[in-house]
Chain A
């Protein structure tokens, strides 16, 4: 194939996926743009944004990939059955990873800001926001990923190509929206 053919094929194949995830990213941006007040009140929250968003993508993207491979291998059935040990283990591990890493990000972010002598909120505030957002977004994204991968598979779609875009599109929106909700909750409880 010539350079031109390869470029055209790669462009056509990727455009829909990238365009859909751009729309998801814009929605996330709109929520972030509306979070000015919380970002200004909780110093250090903006620092956590890339880490928390990447965690959602890495953890639940990997859950999707794991379930997709397992469907191909016949290790799990495309049914939401909480009695299924493999499904339960994969979901529990993803939730545990998501929450642990979110808490770690808050600790490390706090230490970084304190070490550099920059303005920062208290550790319980940052930790509270990260953990509440981690748990809520984890539950939402687990449902989204499991349902999308299973339904897609039952309708004859390849779950491998489905899991990635589903997570990149919903992960940022859900990640930022739950951060906003968690920040409001923590501020209402007296954090700052």
Chain B
């Protein structure tokens, strides 16, 4: 039963929020490490929030669908399971559709503002490669977290979503960093 006093709500949420903040500062540290590259190529800076956000979203959607399937007893944790494989495929498909567009839009915006120093192809390639790697990681993280909650007897709705969203946030920055290091 949710509590409805200020003190009660703060006491319920604050510990989790503080731990998640420390996790997010880890990804902030990665951003701080490649700050000079990001400031040199603002098109990459434009990609930061959208990459983090999309990674978290893809993970959250996959996780909440898996949680629901677990509740309904419809999920077997095997690669041949239709719910598992179908959702994994959809996650990769969403990334493959949206990340190239996001890269092109990020480049177009910077070009309009007169700050585009990377080619259209380079920004699209960075966004697409990051997106596909993140889709694979989002699948891995959400399946692992849902499976762990299921084995430990925890309600996947309570635990899995914040864990998956914040883990995918951090992975979003790490993957973007790795791809930029390799490509730019």
Contact = CB atoms under 8 A, between A and B. Distances in A.
Interface of A: 1-11, 14-15, 17-19, 21-22, 24-26, 28-30, 32-34, 36, 39-40, 44, 46-51, 53-55, 57-59, 62, 66, 69-70, 75, 85-86, 89-90, 92-94, 96-97, 100-101, 104-105, 108-109, 112-113, 116, 118, 164, 168, 172, 176
Given A6-B85, A14-B90, A168-B53, 15 more contacts: A2-B86, A11-B90, A25-B52, A25-B102, A26-B106, A32-B45, A36-B45, A44-B32, A50-B25, A50-B173, A58-B16, A66-B2, A93-B8, A96-B6, A101-B17
A112 B31 CA distance: 14
A11 B87 CA distance: 8
Contacts of B53: 21-22, 24-25, 28, 53, 168, 172
B82 interface: yes
Given A40-B39, A93-B6, A7 B90 contact: yes
Interface in B105-146: 105-106, 109-110, 113, 115
Task: Name B's interface SS.
Answer: helix
Contact of A69 (B2, B6, B90): B2
A25 B54 contact: yes
B116 to A, nearest CB: 10
B4 A86 contact: yes
A63 to B, nearest CB: 9
Nearest to B88: A7
B28 A7 contact: no
B46 A47 contact: no
B94 A15 contact: yes
Contacts of B101: 22
Nearest to B32: A47
B31 A50 contact: yes
B63 interface: no
A61 to B, nearest CB: 9
Contacts of B85: 3, 6-7
Interface in B67-123: 82-83, 85-87, 89-91, 93-94, 97-98, 101-102, 105-106, 109-110, 113, 115
Contacts of A100: 10, 14
16 contacts: A1-B83, A4-B86, A5-B86, A7-B89, A10-B61, A11-B90, A26-B46, A26-B102, A28-B53, A48-B28, A50-B170, A55-B24, A58-B166, A93-B13, A100-B10, A112-B29
Given A11-B93, A109-B25, A58 B50 contact: no
Top-10 shortest CB links A-B: A6-B86, A25-B50, A93-B9, A10-B90, A29-B46, A47-B28, A51-B24, A7-B89, A28-B49, A25-B53
Contacts of B115: 33
